[in-house]
Chain A
């Protein structure tokens, strides 16, 4: 068993002739809240897409709790415990809020197709548990009151929170958040910071997050990796990153 929840070694991907990410190596420990920052187009989202196998990496290895996920599909990656949210929100927008979370629990329930069609006792008891679990999770994100609203009709901030709730429903060991505060107002962002810490403690998971809001990054992340033009510019604590001349240059330009 590895001590790292996530370890990548020299990860890289090319799109045609363009190398979007290269030599990307990070180590995320259990319980870390880890920040991945960098200017637009640096390759942050691409890293998430490689970790979840939406894109197949061209080079390098990804270890999750010591297991190489090189040959796994997106679905298998989800089953071994990586969950994510998306920069451009991807909810099941025609379904209601509760169903969105229930879909996250899909693999933790076991009744069969025959149970569904015949409405057996197993179906009813598992659905009842599921309903309670879904409402409990929605409660953490202050979404219970919207349980029977269409997911697509929620305000922006609530949609972002629902995406996190759905990701948590898959019972992950590592949660990837892609710009969770984008589009939120300062009050919502402050609440989100509290929620992020709260879910780390409550579920004992590690969180890797991409964010442009420096107040959030510096406020919740214990470690940070800075990405620029697909390369790791530096790893360090929030203080080290804030005071690094290279980082300042990358953000402000020459």
Chain B
């Protein structure tokens, strides 16, 4: 009994509270939604939104690592997601030939999507992160466009001899038993929808685990030091470029994984889906959720994906109302007076429940 109390106290101590709340919210949401699904109390629209929502949440968490903790703006989330989605689909089709377990194929595909996206991150990050200023935003924006164009012209097929790649026109020259997985502008053909809501939630938990463990370590402190003061960080012996690259690559890996989850949740996939608008959308989730605030990111992403669906009843006015809600949230969360009263409320609650104040 005492041990349980001690563990609880530790989980809600200043050091761990943020983390605990994030995990709790995700698990709670999972239990509620899963129950609703089992009992048939959920509409088909919401059901079809579950996997994309999980995927966007992971991409937004990864972006928050960059914007919130590294202090660099990245406009290429859609590009990294696209890499993860398309190559994850290819990997899944490839592994499915040799492995019968769906779960294992999904895991392997996610790993492949993450690694390839991480490699793209390293490729961009090594030259660009040395520069100061907004170059990262500009270059990642360009990367997003380039990836989209490349994928629109890519053909990938699988036959008994293995993978075949060709570019611009379909020159894959496969055996008769071959199938085209990626068909240029037509997009990718997903043979088996391997992603599930459970897999999505597990990926969110994995992303939270990686991000929280990273930022609460000497590596994460170094990353934040680079954000707060580059010159001071190098004056205490922190290799600034190395840590910027680390954060950037970790973020790219997680985003690629989110992309694979997304890709394997639909029966077909188009490169045009992964455009600049998607990058901006994910950035909006992060900004609204609060920089460096992972729980906030999860909540804002979910709300902003669900609200437009809920507003379908208003049809023509849907996007107008959506924009008004966005602007209102921006104004409220940046308003000093309102924040002051929120803080007062918080302090008042603390006084009411003094027990929660450990140490």
Contacts and interface: CB of A to CB of B under 8 A. Distances in A.
Grouping DSSP codes into helix (H, G, I), strand (E, B) and loop, the A interface class, with mixed when no group exceeds half, is helix
A103 B215 CA distance: 13
Interface residues of A, number: 38
B225 interface: yes
Contacts of B229: 90-93
Contacts of A99: 221, 224
Given A93-B228, A95-B228, A84 B235 contact: yes
B66 to A, nearest CB: 15
Given A84-B235, A92-B228, A116 B222 contact: no
B235 A113 contact: no
B179 interface: no
Contact of B228 (A79, A91, A130): A91
B232 interface: yes
A123 interface: yes
Interface stretch (A13-21, A28-36, A165-173): A165-173
Interface string B190-231: 000000000000000000001001100111111011011101
Interface string B217-261: 111111011011101111111110000001000000000000000
Chain B interface extent, by class: 20 to 34
A54 B231 contact: yes
B231 A90 contact: yes
A1 interface: no
B218 A109 contact: yes
Interface of A: 52, 54, 73-75, 78-79, 83-84, 86, 90-95, 99, 102-104, 106-107, 109, 111, 113, 115-119, 123, 127, 130, 148, 166-167, 169-170
Given A75-B237, A95-B221, A169-B236, 10 more contacts: A54-B235, A74-B235, A83-B236, A91-B229, A95-B224, A103-B221, A103-B233, A111-B217, A123-B217, A167-B236
8 contacts: A73-B234, A75-B239, A78-B236, A92-B232, A103-B233, A116-B218, A116-B220, A148-B14
